[in-house]
Amino acid sequence: MKLEIRDRLLKILESYGRDGVSQGELVEESGYSKSWVSEVLKELESRGLIARVPGPGKTKRVVLSKYLDPSVGKTIRIGLVRASEYLYLPNFFSHLRSFGYEVELVLYGNVSEATAALARAEVHLSISPIYTQAVYRALGAPIKTFHGGALGGASLIYRHLGGKVLSSRASTMEIAAIALHKATGYEIPELHYYKTPEEGVRAFIQGGADAIAIWEPYASELEGRGYRRVRLAEYIGDYYCCTLSKHENLSNEVSKHVKESWEKALTEAKAGKIYRDSLHVIGIESSVVEKAIKEYKYAEDIEWDYIKKTLNYIAGFLLNQTTIKELLED
């Protein structure tokens, strides 16, 4: 009986998200007695799964801990997409857990969705391209970015250049598509966006485009099918892809712990301390990681020359040196 009540209450609380709900409303909506609801809530609170926060007046609202600042809820929600560059994740999680936090991953179809979720405070952190983060901040999103991250990973897979191109929106892939066409002397008559990499790959294979800008492991998978490939790094050298950003309402204490954990994880990844089977949590097999691991480098800081070099191809009114400087943590 208690297990049934617990599952029902957790489901209701999930539906209310970070707004939470009063205990009285939980009783009414669940259909269980006040005493049963009270007893189960005490158990969930003792396990750290829920917390009671101030509501209107003197009322209290019950909220799932994962939606609160991690200094209260002790759960850090991280938004990201399916990619094989995140070989530092086990190290990062381990360091966060050493500070007493649990980690919840939230997968999105593309980097714009992941960054938008951060802007709405649906997650505490997001791992997405620094260029995507800069565009969102320029549009008013209250986000800041920690130094350091992954370099590389973007490729153009093509039948021939100069035709319709698929890319993810406001991302490293869009930069790769434009930069590589400029570098090779071709124009892009049509640039279309896919909502998910799987959708883009499917459309490309079915003949819906002449080229697709895509990341790992998808680029290696398409290359294995016999399509031609050109890497962005072959033309512009090292460049930043995904970095870690936070919502500005994250407390100073948690931000300090995240920064320390992030820097340690990147240092370890740079030194080769990575786990090939670490990405099964986002649906990537270790055999795929082995093929893609050579595509990435890791750095604990931001080398400004890399940023300027990349912006030479695509800088504009939303994406420029000023917006990226405003984005970076002091």
91 shares its domain with 201: no
Q: Taking Cα atoms as reference points, which of 94, 68, 97, 93 lies closest to residue 80? A: 93
Instruction: Give the pLDDT of residue 96.
Output: 96
State the pLDDT confidence band at 277, using cuts at 50, 70 and 90.
Answer: low
Helix residue ranges, H only, 139-226: 172-183, 197-205, 218-224
Query: Exposed, middle or buried: residue 80 (CB in 10 Å: 0-12, 13-18, 19+)?
Result: buried
How many structural domains are present in the chain? 3
Q: Which residue has the higher pLDDT, 275 or 319?
A: 319
Q: Cα(168)–Cα(176) distance, rounded to whole angstroms? A: 10
% the chain with pLDDT above 90: 50
Mean pLDDT throughout 31-57? 82
Q: Residue 199's domain is classified under what CATH number?
A: 3.40.190.10
The band of 309, judged by pLDDT with boundaries at 50, 70 and 90, is: confident
Domain end point (choices 188, 213, 236): 236
Residues 130 and 245 occupy one common structural domain:
yes
* 101 and 217 assigned to the same domain: no
Q: 264 and 296 in one domain?
A: yes
Looking at the structure, tell me whether residues 39 and 82 fall in a common domain. no
Mean pLDDT to the nearest integer, 209-237: 94
The model's confidence at residue 41, banded by pLDDT at 50, 70 and 90, is confident
Q: Flag whether pLDDT at 276 surpasses 70.
A: no
Name the domain boundary from 25, 49, 65. 65
CB 132 within 8 A of CB 324: no
Band (pLDDT 50/70/90 cuts) for residue 103 is very high
Residues paired with residue 321 on neighbouring β-strands, in sequence order: none
250/323 same-domain check: yes
Which domain does 12 fall in, by range? 2-65
Q: What is the pLDDT of residue 1?
A: 63
Same domain, 144 and 112: yes
134 and 268, same domain (yes or no):
yes
Q: What is the CATH number of the domain that holds 58?
A: 1.10.10.10
The confidence score (pLDDT) of residue 330 equals: 60
Residue 95 shares a structural domain with residue 224: no
Residues 271 and 321 reside in one and the same domain? yes
Give yes or no: residues 141 and 244 share one domain. Answer: yes
Domain boundary among 206, 236, 266: 236
Same domain, 92 and 115: yes
Mean pLDDT score of the chain:
88
